Structure 1
Amino acid sequence: MNDDGQPYLYPPELFSVPDSRQPSDWITEFGDDGEQYSYPEPLNKAGFFEDFFDHKPEQTLMFWHTLNRTLTKTA
């Protein structure tokens, strides 16, 4: 999330990963340049984030529902 509370793709070199474990219900894929994309299953559909950033209601609702459910699990 960026400072505006929106999803954002940050360059991987900004991160160090001390623990590479991921939630078991996330799907991981790799891009053409080796970049890693990991999302909960509902957000891992082709075109999901394009639709989200186009403010389509179904994707907007699904994003916030999934994020809130994920944050609730960690609390």
Structure 2
Amino acid sequence: MSDRDQPPLPSDLLPRYSEREVAAMLFVSVRRLQNWRFYGRGGPAYVKIGGSVRYCERDIVEFLERHTVR
């Protein structure tokens, strides 16, 4: 099966959001996101492609759910 025969990924799995966009969504600084990644301290999961860091919608939602106080 070639890559062209693969079904497309669901849109929530596509790494589409930049650091700046996610920082704005979470009301934190870009530096805070970078620190979470560097120190491995609980930020949302991310995808690194080359030097570019991207976030998937699903991972942002999961991060928010983990940090929701009920």
Same fold (TM over 0.5): no
TM-score, structure 2 normalization = 0.30
Greater helix content: 2
State the structure with bigger RCO (CA 8 A, min sep 6), 1 or 2: 2
Q: Which has the larger radius of gyration?
A: 2
TM-score, structure 1 normalization = 0.29
